[in-house]
Structure 1
Amino acid sequence: MIMRSPSTSPRTGGTVADRSLFDPAPIEAIRELADKAEADAIVGGYFRNTRQQIERVEAHAAAADLDALARQIHAIIGTSSTFGFRGIERHGRRIEQAIENGDRTRAITLARDLRTAAEASWAQFHRRYGQPGT
C-alpha cells in the first residue's frame, strides 16, 4: 500500500484536503476568475440546482423510472464533476453502470443513497469554505 504524505497548497501554504470526495481546484479557479459575490452566487447555484436534481433522482427511483433516472444522473455527474465534487461524480457513475447493466435493484438502491454521498462530499467543501455567501 502506498502512503501519501500531506502536501501543502502553494496558494495558502496549508495542507491540501483529501480530494477523494471533493477537489477544491475547480472552486479555486472560480474564486480567481470572479469576485466573491459572483463566486458565491455560482457555487450557491450549484448547491440549489443539485439539491433539486437529487429530489428528482429520488422521485425517479421511487417510481423505478430508469430512463428518467439515467438522464438525471448524467446531469448530476456533469455538474458535480465541473465543481470538483468527486464523491458525487463517482456515486453517479455507479448508478449509471447499474442502469447500463440492467441491474434495476442496484440502480434504485444506489440512487436512494445519492443524497448521503452528496452530503459527504459537500461536508468537505463546507469545512474548507463554509457556506457560500459567508
Structure 2
Amino acid sequence: MLSSTVIRYLLTIYRLSPDNRPIPSVFISRQLNVTRSSVAKTLSQLTEENLVEKAHYGKARLSPLGRRLALQYQREQQTFHRLFVQLGLSPQSAEQEAMTVVSALSPEGKQALVALLPHPMPLASGN
C-alpha cells in the first residue's frame, strides 16, 4: 500500500495535469500547501519509485504506472465524494473527506466502509 503522501501527490499531479503534460513543482506546492523543497524531495522519491517522470526546470508528470494508480485513486475518491455528499456534506468538505479516506485507509478498510452502507455502491476502482 502506498503512503498517504504518495497518494496525495499522485492525485494532485493527475488533477493539475489531466493531459499528463509536465507541470511546474510550484503548482504542486501551492495545491498541497507544502514547501517547494518538500515537493522536490517527494518528487525525487516518486521518480525513484517509477511513479513520476521529472522533466526540465523542475517540471514533473506521472509515469505510466503513476498515471494508472492516480486514475484508480481518483475513481475511489469520486466514489467517496458522492457518498459524503449523500450524507449531507458540502461538496468542498466531501472532497476533503474523500481524499482522507482514499489516502489513509487500506483497500480492506475502504471495502468495509462501503459495505456498511444500506445500499452498497462498489468502489469505482473495482477493489
TM-score by length of 2: 0.29
Larger RCO (CA within 8 A; separation ≥ 6): 1
Higher strand residue share: 2
TM-score by length of 1: 0.28
Higher helix residue share: 1
